[in-house]
Amino acid sequence: AQKITQTQPGMFVQEKEAVTLDCTYDTSDQSYGLFWYKQPSSGEMIFLIYQGSYDEQNATEGRYSLNFQKARKSANLVISASQLGDSAMYFCAMREHNAGNMLTFGGGTRLMVKP
């Protein structure tokens, strides 16, 4: 079974609008972490935001926020006020408690920001 599922292969958003990228996960661990990374066409993975399974508040980092719904096992990324430079691939990833630093990634969502 897929551990991380990103159901939107591609999305368009108008510049300055908000966009939500979906991520659902599957784990039997009680302790885990969820990450979002951005990968521009250059290939480098850029860390955006982190949410721990025991964190009660949704994580926020500037224009990025994570809508964490533990019971539904979802960790959606919200980007507010989209910019042209936000056009990239976005990956959701999970680190389980007993897996060291091993990240399991979803298939990614390609976001395209329209001017």
Partner 1 sequence: KAGVTQTPRYLIKTRGQQVTLSCSPISGHRSVSWYQQTPGQGLQFLFEYFSETQRNKGNFPGRFSGRQFSNSRSEMNVSTLELGDSALYLCASSPQRSEQFFGPGTRLTVL
- Residues in the site for partner 1, rule: CB under 8 A? 35, 37, 42-47, 50, 91, 93, 95, 99-108
> What 3-state DSSP class applies to 20?
strand
Structure tokens belonging to residue 59: 């994580």
CB of 15 vs partner 1, minimal distance in Å: 27
- Judged by beta carbon, residue 49 or residue 71, the one nearer partner 1 is 49
- Judged by beta carbon, residue 30 or residue 101, the one nearer partner 1 is 101
22 C-beta neighbours (distance < 10 Å), count: 17
CB of 50 vs partner 1, minimal distance in Å: 6
User: If 0-12 CB within 10 Å is exposed, 13-18 middle and 19+ buried, where does residue 75 land?
Assistant: buried
